[in-house]
Copies of this chain bind each other. A is one copy, B any other.
Amino acid sequence: MKLQQLRYILEIQRQGLNVSEAAETLFTSQPGISKQVKLLEDELGITIFERTGKRFTGVTEPGKAVLRIAEQILREAENLKRASADFAGGTSGRLVLAATHTQARYALPLVVRDFIAQHPNVKLEFHQGSPTQIAEWVVNGDADLGIATEALDQYSQLITLPVRQWSHCVIAPEGHAILKHQPLSLNELAKWPLITYDTAFAGRSRINRAFERIGATPNVALTALDADVIKTYVSLGLGLGIISALAYDAQRDSGLVAMEAAHLFESNTTRLALRRGTYLRRYDYDFIALFASHLSRRVVDMAMQGGGDEYQL
Contacts and interface: CB of A to CB of B under 8 A. Distances in A.
Interface in A198-238: none
Contacts of A73: 73, 76-77, 80
A69 B80 contact: yes
A187 to B, nearest CB: 43
Given A2-B3, A3-B2, A88-B62, A69 B83 contact: yes
Given A87-B46, A306-B306, A76 B80 contact: no
B45 A62 contact: no
Given A2-B3, A77-B73, A66 B45 contact: no
Contacts of A29: none
Contacts of A44: 80-81, 84-85, 88
A70 interface: yes
B76 A69 contact: yes
A157 interface: no
Interface in A147-195: none
Contacts of A65: 83-84, 86-87, 279
Given A46-B87, A61-B87, A62-B88, A69 B279 contact: yes
Contacts of A80: 1, 44, 66, 69-70, 73
Contacts of A279: 65, 69
A89 interface: yes
Interface in A126-153: none
Interface in A22-61: 44-46, 61
Given A76-B69, A76-B73, A77-B73, A84 B46 contact: yes
Contact of A76 (B45, B76, B83, B87): B76
A79 interface: yes
A46 to B, nearest CB: 5
Contacts of A72: 76
A83 B67 CA distance: 11
A141 B45 CA distance: 22
A287 to B, nearest CB: 19
Given A46-B84, A62-B88, 6 more contacts: A1-B80, A45-B88, A46-B87, A65-B86, A66-B80, A73-B76
Interface of A: 1-3, 44-46, 61-62, 65-66, 69-70, 72-73, 76-77, 79-81, 83-89, 279, 306
